C-alpha cells in the first residue's frame, strides 16, 4: 500500500487556513529575530498567549534553562489540541516530562539510540534504500518523497522496534496514520490514530511473546502496558513526521542549484555534510515543544512571569546571521555553527543520531544509483506545512535516464565500498 499523500496534503492545506502555517516562514521569522527576538504571539492551539523566541543565542539558552519546564501534558494550557497527538493515550510521555521522571523514562530507551545500536541499522537501511530504488529505476521518473524518503523512516522504526515484515502494516500505512493523526482536529486523533494505536498494541503483544534486543522489549521491561504503548506511539509517530520530510528537503535543495548534487556524489563526506546543512536550512521541526516558566525570569531583557508559555523557534534560530554566515544560502560546505534542528539540553532529540544516519544512507545510495538525477517538475519545490510545528516538501518529483541508473550493490557491514552484484 502506498502512502495516501493526496489525502494528507489536503489535510495540510485545510489546516494551514487556521494555524497560520506559511509556505515560506523565513522572511517573517527574520523580521521578528531582528526587531523583537522575544515577542508575544498567540499561544499554541490558539490558547492564550506565549513568548516566541527567535534568536540563536536566546533559543539555545532557553532550551537548556531548567527554569523553563516542559509544558505538554494533556489538558494543560499551551498544549495544541491536535498536534502530535500527545494526548492520544492518557499518560505522560517522556517528550513532555521533566526530571526526575524524564530522566528515568529516557534512560529506559537510550540503549536503542546508542552509536552502536544506530550503526547496526546502517546496513538494513542501505539494503532497503536499494530495494526502493529498484522499484522505479526502470521508469525514468519518481516522486522521491512518497516512493523513497517517507518510507525509509517507517522501515527503520520497525527495525528499531524489532518487528519483522510479516507483523507490520502494509508499507506506507503507518506513515499515513502517523501524519493524519497529527493533523486531526479530533481530541483523540480520530480513527486513524486509533488504528495505529491498535496496531501498536499488537506489536507490544508480539514482543511480549518474542522479546529481543530492541526498543519495544526495553519499553515493556521499564514501563507498564499503557506507558509503553504511549511511548511506542510517540517514538513511531515523531520518526515519521520529521525524518522523511528532512530527507526529501535535502534532495530538493541539492537539485535546486546546478552542480550541487553531482558535487555530493564525488565527495565521500558530501552526503553527511549535505544532510546536516539541510537540517539547519529546512528544519523539519519548526518549533520546540512548549515550555512553561517555573518562576519569574528574563529572556533577552524581556520579563517573563512564572506560568508563562515560551515557544522556541528552531527554524528562526537556524537561520540567525549572528550564528551562521549567509544563513539563507544552502551550503553543504558550510563550516562551524552547530544547528538546533534536534534541540539542545536534556530534551535533545534522542533519535537525532538515527535520523542523521538515515539521511546519510538515503542520500549516499541515491547518488550512487542515480548519478544523473534532475528535477522532474516545479511541484517539487512547493512547500507543505503540517501547521506551525512541522514543515517539508510536498513532492520531490525527479527524472533520470534509465540507462544511467546504477545497479544495486551488496552492502558491506564494515562500511567499505560495496561491490556490484555479480562482481
| pLDDT computed for residue 207 by the predictor | 97
Over range 246-266, report the average pLDDT: 91
**Distances, alpha carbon 334 to alpha carbons 82, 263, 273, in Å:** 37, 14, 8
Residue 43 confidence (pLDDT): 82
pLDDT value for 328: 96
- What pLDDT is attached to residue 234? 84
Coil, helix or strand for 111?
A: helix
At residue 99, the pLDDT reads 55
Q: Where are the domains of the chain?
A: 70-286+330-404
Rounded CA-CA distance 107/161 in Å is 16
Confidence of residue 206 (pLDDT cuts 50, 70, 90): very high
Homologous superfamily assigned to 70-286+330-404: Cytochrome P450 (1.10.630.10)
- Least confident segment among 215-229, 264-278, 390-404: 390-404
The b/e string for 310-337 (b: 16+ C-beta within 10 A; e otherwise) is bbbbbbbbbbbeebbeebeebbbebeee
- Residue-level pLDDT at 14: 37
Whole-Å CA distances, 247 to 148, 267, 395: 9, 18, 12
The pLDDT assigned to 391 comes to 83
- Which is higher by pLDDT, 363 or 74? 363
Query: How, if at all, do strands 383-385 and 391-393 pair?
Result: antiparallel
User: Comparing C-alpha atoms, which of 331, 361, 5, 372 is closest to residue 156?
Assistant: 361
CB 379 within 8 A of CB 395: yes
pLDDT value of residue 241? 81
Instruction: Read off the pLDDT band of 23 (50, 70, 90).
Output: low
417 has a pLDDT exceeding 50: no
26-30, 184-188, 374-378, 396-400: the lowest-pLDDT one: 184-188
**pLDDT tens profile 124-155:** 999 999 999 999 999 999 999 999 999 999 99
Amino acid at each position: 500500500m502506498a502512502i495516501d499523500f493526496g489525502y494528507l496534503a489536503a489535510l495540510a492545506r485545510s489546516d494551514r487556513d487556521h494555524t497560520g502555517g506559511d509556505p515560506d516562514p523565513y522572511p517573517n521569522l527574520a523580521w521578528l529575530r531582528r526587531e523583537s527576538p522575544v515577542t508575544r504571539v498567540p499561544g499554541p492551539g490558539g490558547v492564550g498567549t506565549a513568548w516566541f523566541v527567535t534568536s540563536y543565542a536566546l533559543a539555545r539558552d532557553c532550551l537548556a534553562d531548567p527554569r523553563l519546564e516542559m509544558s505538554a501534558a494533556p489538558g494543560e494550557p499551551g498544549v495544541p489540541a491536535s498536534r502530535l497527538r500527545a494526548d492520544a493515550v492518557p499518560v505522560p510521555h517522556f517528550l513532555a516530562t521533566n526530571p526526575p521522571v524524564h530522566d528515568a523514562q529516557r534512560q529506559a530507551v537510550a540503549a536503542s539510540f546508542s552509536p552502536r545500536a544506530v550503526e547496526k541499522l546502517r546496513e538494513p537501511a542501505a539494503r532497503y534504500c536499494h530495494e526502493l530504488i529498484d522499484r522505479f529505476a526502470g521508469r525514468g521518473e519518481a516522486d522521491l518523497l512518497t516512493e523513497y524518503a517517507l518510507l525509509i523512516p517507517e522501515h527503520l522504526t520497525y527495525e528499531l522496534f524489532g518487528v519483522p515484515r510479516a507483523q507490520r502494516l502494509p508499507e506506507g500505512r503507518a506513515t499515513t496514520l502517523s501524519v493524519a493523526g497529527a493533523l486531526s482536529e479530533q481530541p483523540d486523533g480520530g480513527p486513524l490514530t486509533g488504528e495505529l494505536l491498535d496496531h501498536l498494541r499488537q506489536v507490544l503483544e508480539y514482543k511480549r511473546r518474542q522479546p529481543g534486543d530492541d526498543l519495544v522489549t526495553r519499553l515493556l521491561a521499564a514501563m507498564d502496558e499503557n506507558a509503553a504503548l504511549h511511548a511506542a506511539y510517540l517514538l513511531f509517530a515523531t520518526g515519521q513526521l520529521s525524518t522523511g520530510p528532512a530527507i526529501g528537503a535535502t534532495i530538493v535543495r541539492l537539485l535546486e542549484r546546478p552542480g550541487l548534487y553531482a558535487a555530493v556524489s564525488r565527495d565521500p563526506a558530501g552526503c553527511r555534510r549535505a544532510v546536516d546543512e539541510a537540517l539547519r536550512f529546512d528544519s523539519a521541526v519548526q518549533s520546540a515543544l512548549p515550555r512553561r516558566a517555573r518562576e519569574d525570569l528574563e529572556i533577552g531583557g524581556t520579563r517573563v512571569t512564572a506560568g508563562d508559555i515560551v515557544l522556541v523557534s528552531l527554524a528562526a534560530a537556524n537561520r540567525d546571521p549572528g550564528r551562521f554566515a549567509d544563513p539563507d544560502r544552502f551550503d553543504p560546505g558550510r563550516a562551524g555553527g552547530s544547528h538546533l534542528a534536534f534541540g539542545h539540553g536534556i530534551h535533545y532529540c534522542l533519535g537525532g543520531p538515527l535520523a542523521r544516519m538515515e539521511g546519510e544512507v538515503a542520500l549516499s545510495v541515491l547518488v550512487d544509483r542515480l548519478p544523473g538525477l534532475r528535477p522532474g517538475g516545479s511541484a517539487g519545490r512547493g512547500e507543505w506545512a503540517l501547521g506551525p510545528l512541522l514543515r517539508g516538501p510536498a513532492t520531490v518529483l525527479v527524472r533520470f535516464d534509465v540507462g544511467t541508473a546504477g545497479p544495486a550493490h551488496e552492502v558491506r557491514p564494515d562500511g567499505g565500498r560495496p561491490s556490484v552484484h555479480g562482481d
